[in-house]
Amino acid sequence: MADLALIRIDDVRVKIPRTGGMLVDGMIFADEELLENFVEPEAITQVANVAHLPGIVAYSFGMPDIHWGYGFPIGGVAGMDVDKRGVISPGGVGFDINCGVRLIRSNLELDEVLPRLDQLLSRLYARIPAGLGRDGGLSLSKKELKRVLSQGSRWLVTHGMGEEADLVHCEEGGCMPDADPEEVSRRAYERGVPQLGSLGSGNHFLEIQVVEEVYDEAVAQAFGVFKGQITVMIHCGSRGLGHQICSDFVKIMLSAMSKYGISVPDRQLVCAPFYSEEGQRYWRAMCCAANYAWANRQMITHMVREAFEVVFGGAWRSLGLDLIYDVAHNIAKLERHHVDGKWRTLCVHRKGATRSFGPERQEVPERYREVGQPVLIPGDMGRSSYLLVGRKESLDRSLGSTCHGAGRCKSRNQATKEISYSRLLKELEDRGIKVYSHSKRTLVEEAPEAYKDVSMVVEVAEVAGLSKKVARMRPLGVIKG
């Protein structure tokens, strides 16, 4: 797929016209600077490769934070018509199934938290496990884990680790009902039993933030956000369980493709028709991993609330530690979309991308339905993160999708070669950011300069009509693996 033609449609959209076996055009949301300096040729090729998948409609999309990934680019979105033999692909979901972000508000303001920030971070660091392979904050039996896989966040709430409002303000209510624990392998269970309530490593984090800027007062008020407010952002996923499920079904689908006469330009795009035996088995197992990830973030939320109670006194409800929203970044969902003049049921793959539904969609919690779905776009640990809102236009332009972060501009190996750990700590300290990490290497791999500037990415998403800025949060303290 070398030498692909690129046609600029406007300031923030670039089309890859159909060629060869592509079934639809590709569409990348990027301005000239992003396209020239940060979008790898390999990622562009991957957008074109995804356009070969059976049942794909509209476009093969690349979000503004697009970069090279496994099969699909990270920042890749594609919808397959399941009534037209549309496929489901593990590479279109990713290994960390339902890696996602949640944002917790508070009634606290900056001057109340700064004097106790070290105490708060120390308590969170001691309480919430982080790092490669680290066990979680809740020890489960296999029987209990099966219930978590079936019930997701609700299992935690029914055991006193949250409230009903947490479920309401979470995509899918924190549970995909098609989950079937019988489709999860023994090895996935072994990896999942000890890890619930842990951040993991890589780009996962817990961050104490302050709302530095509000762009839309009306929407911010609907979300319960104000300037100077303290918020908490949690970024993690399904840990080893999700990784194992993806690995298991890549092998299963690899052997199944010939059975369905499917040929793909990249074997990492292994897939099966959604309604095939293999497709349904993966779907039910993926739902289990998604439920585990929501439960994982719910457990960490519970521990965050406990830490705030100890440090600031009083019940967490009196501190206003309510969940604003929880979004999934690596997931496939069945959604109804109006494409080519008709309503279709699509299996929408979002791999390193965020759902961005505007007002009136029934999937948006009733409290937010007049303004649209909250969209959470984390930055790197040295720069801001954003709260945005979904836009009605995004349904036509990107199947209701937007970016999920800044996107890497340096590989982890490149970062470790070029960035000094001591210099990084000094730079973060100079910015007033306290960092707690179990690994020097992870910290260097996740340095701000290894990522694009999230503000540039968010601006493209806004100009393209995918999402609209509501508030910007600046990091005060970060916990990483």
Distances in whole angstroms, Cα of residue 333 to Cα of each of 43, 92, 163, 166: 23, 11, 25, 21
218 found inside a domain: yes
Do residues 234 and 197 lie in contact, with contact meaning Cβ atoms separated by under 8 Å?
A: no
Strands 56-67 and 25-29, bridge-based pairing: parallel
What pLDDT is recorded for position 333?
A: 98
381 found inside a domain: yes
Residues 87-113 have pLDDT tens digits of: 999 999 999 999 999 999 999 999 999
> How much is the average pLDDT of 198-224?
95
Residue 219 sits in a domain of what CATH number? 3.90.1860.10
Count of structural domains within the chain: 1
Residue span of the structural domain in which 49 resides: 7-88+98-480
Long-range contacts of 423-426 (CB under 8 A, 24+ apart): none
What pLDDT is recorded for position 361?
A: 94
Share of the chain above pLDDT 90, in %: 84
Residues 50-97 have pLDDT tens digits of: 999 999 999 999 999 999 999 999 999 999 999 999 999 999 999 999
What pLDDT is recorded for position 397?
A: 97
What pLDDT is recorded for position 1?
A: 43
> How much is the average pLDDT of 254-277?
96
* 384 phi, psi to nearest 5 deg: -75, 160
What gap in Å lies between CA 183 and CA 253, rounded to an integer?
14
Q: Tokens 């199947």 — which residue?
A: 399
What pLDDT is recorded for position 132?
A: 64
What pLDDT is recorded for position 191?
A: 95
242 found inside a domain: yes
Q: Tokens 């982890």 — which residue?
A: 412
More confident residue, 19 or 137: 19
For the chain, give the mean pLDDT: 95
What pLDDT is recorded for position 36?
A: 94
Residues 426-455 have pLDDT tens digits of: 888 889 899 998 788 888 888 888 888 999
271 found inside a domain: yes
pLDDT at 138 over 80: no
List, as one string, the DSSP characters of 428-451. HHHTT-EEEES-HHHHHHT-GGGB
Residues 13-49 have pLDDT tens digits of: 999 999 999 999 999 999 999 999 999 999 999 999 9
What pLDDT is recorded for position 406?
A: 87
93 found inside a domain: no
- Three-state secondary-structure class, residue 232: strand
Residues 291-348 have pLDDT tens digits of: 999 999 999 999 999 999 999 999 999 999 999 999 999 999 999 999 999 999 999 9
Do residues 25 and 15 lie in contact, with contact meaning Cβ atoms separated by under 8 Å?
A: yes
For CA atoms 205, 207, 213, 217, the dihedral sign is: positive
418 found inside a domain: yes
1 found inside a domain: no
Show which residues are catalytic: 404
2 found inside a domain: no
Residues 6+ apart with CB under 8 A from 458: 64, 377, 386, 388, 403, 467, 469
- Three-state secondary-structure class, residue 149: helix
Q: Is 133 left (phi over 0), alpha (psi -120 to 50) or beta?
A: left
